[in-house]
Amino acid sequence: MLIIRRRVGERIVIGSNIEVTVASATKKMVRLAIQAPKGIPVLRGEVHDAVVAANVAASEGMIELEFIDDSSDGEDEASEESHDSD
Amino acid sequence: MIRIEGTKFGAVEVDETAVIRFPNGLVGFPAETEFVLLERSGGKLVGYLQSLRTPGLAFPVMDAAQFDGYPEPSLSELASGAGLPTDDLAVLVIVSVNPQTKLLQANLLAPLLVHVASRTAAQCVLDPQRFSATHTLADPIALAKARMEAAKARLAEGDAAAKVAAGA
């Protein structure tokens, strides 16, 4: 991992089209100004992680979902099936 | 036709023209750039976004049109930020089951924008202060009441099969 010291107002450039400028800094917090092309998402790390977790969970719980989706919305189908079994 | 073996739905055949491309993949799945929508009838789901690259990977999705005033900012703004054309867009949200409540929940934080004509898409991330990745789709009390009413109605009909189901 690359670690760089920067002063307020200084920039780093990632690739040819992403720029990160240190806008301000205190002892506990830095404010970064980020310029990236459209289509390159810039996310806070914890938000990114939350979306990854939601995506992973959704792709893993599918069988259960099939069942719950049917029972929550398919009342008509369920009663038809019970008649068929008579 | 493209044939995908070993999906959660068995072998699936889809037309090449049905492929939806996510140039940047999904968040956390950057290599998953090609999907097809396997449609599903009944229930709230539109279907499953099935990966072409990974047969075992699919995401259940529903149409976001039912959520009033969603998404925010406007579709065209989001599309422009995601590098998509700003017209002819559809919005899907990924659905999952809440492990505690067992209710359906939708990921409103990160909708899927699909440019219908070009079948190009992107997963956008909205304001986390406003939208949840685990938005519950049904009020649990309303849902429980609805189920109880349905069970009562079936019992009143004297349907033996329904009695078993309601008792379970």
Sorted by sequence, the CB contacts under 8 Å of residue A62 that are 6+ apart come out as B8, B48, B58, B60
Q: Which residues of A touch B58 (CB under 8 A)?
A: 59, 62
Q: Please give the model's pTM, rounded to 2 decimal places.
A: 0.77
pLDDT class for B102, splitting at 50, 70, 90?
A: confident
Residue B124 corresponds to which tokens in the numbers above? 């956008």
Question: Percentage of residues in chain A with pLDDT exceeding 90?
Answer: 62
CB-CB under 8 Å, B161 with A83: yes
Angstrom distances, CA of residue B111 to CA of A37, B4, B101:
20, 25, 22
Per-residue confidence (pLDDT) for residue A84, from 0 to 100: 43
Chain B residues with CB inside 8 Å of A42's CB?
none
Q: What is the pLDDT of residues A47-67, one digit of tens each?
A: 999 999 999 999 987 766 776
| Pairing between β-strand B34-39 and β-strand B47-51 as defined by DSSP bridges | antiparallel
| Crossing angle for the helix pair B160-167 and A75-84, to the nearest 10 degrees | 120
Write down the mean pLDDT value for chain B: 87
Pairwise CA distance, residues A86 & B6, whole Å: 35
A55, A70, A73, best to mutate vs chain B, most B CBs in 10 Å: A55
CA distance A64 to chain B (A): 7
Whether residue B82 and residue A38 make contact (CB cut-off 8 A), yes or no, is yes
Residue of A nearest to B55 (CA): A59
Instruction: Kindly list the domain boundaries of chain B, sorted by start residue.
Output: 2-137, 139-168
Residues of A with Cβ-Cβ distance to B10 under 8 angstroms: none
Helix axes A75-84, B140-156, angle to 10 degrees: 30
Cα dihedral sign for B18, B20, B21, B27?
negative
Q: What is the pLDDT of residues B103-126, one digit of tens each?
A: 889 999 999 999 999 999 999 999
CATH 3.30.565.10 fits B2-137, yes or no: no
Write a three-state SS string for chain A.
CCCCCCCCCCEEEECCCEEEEEEEECCCCEEEEEECCCCCCCCCHHHHHHHHHHHHHHHHCHHHHHHHHHHHHCHHHHHHHHHHCC
User: How many H helices and E strands in chain B?
Assistant: 3, 11
Chain A residues contacting B via beta carbons under 8 Å: 37-39, 41, 43-44, 47-48, 50-59, 61-65, 68-70, 72-75, 77-79, 82-83, 85-86
CB-nearest partner of B104 from A41, A72, A86: A72
Q: Could you give the C-alpha distances from B80 to A17, A78, B13, B77, B89, in angstroms and in order?
A: 17, 44, 33, 5, 11
* Contact between A79 and B133 using a beta-carbon 8 Å cutoff: no
- The answer to whether A72 contacts B83, with C-beta atoms less than 8 Å apart, is no
Q: Which residues of A touch B80 (CB under 8 A)?
A: 38
CB-defined contacts A:B, below 8 A: 120
Span B34-90, pLDDT tens digits: 999 998 877 778 889 999 999 999 999 999 988 888 999 999 999 998 889 999 999
